[in-house]
């Protein structure tokens, strides 16, 4: 049963890591828009018939820090 000391230590470290990740996610706006990105990935937006103005650089889909 001495393993319980290890388990306690591991769980404390884990909850710390998860908390850090969660706070980062909230502060960087990951929870601000929960609907649009879900469909954005399903849609094919490369099909541009004869549009010379299409920019060659891939569009920046990052949300950018708020």
User: Which residue ranges make up the site for other proteins (CB under 8 A)?
Assistant: 1, 4, 8, 11-12, 15, 18-19, 22-23, 26-27, 31-36, 38-40, 42-45, 47-49, 51, 53-55, 59-60, 62-64, 66
Cβ neighbours for 66, distance < 8 A, ≥ 6 positions apart: 28, 29, 32
End-to-end CA distance of the chain: 48
Q: What is the separation of C-alpha 9 from the centre of its chain, rounded to a whole number of angstroms?
A: 28
Closest approach, Cβ 46 to other proteins, in A, equals 9
Closest approach, Cβ 54 to other proteins, in A, equals 6
């Amino acid at each position: 049963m001495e393993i319980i000391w290890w388990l306690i230590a591991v769980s404390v470290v884990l909850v710390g890591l998860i908390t850090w990740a969660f706070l980062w996610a909230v502060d960087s706006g990951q929870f601000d828009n929960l609907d649009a990105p879900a469909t954005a990935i399903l849609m094919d937006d490369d099909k541009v018939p004869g549009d010379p103005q299409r920019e060659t650089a891939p569009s920046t889909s990052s949300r950018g820090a708020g």
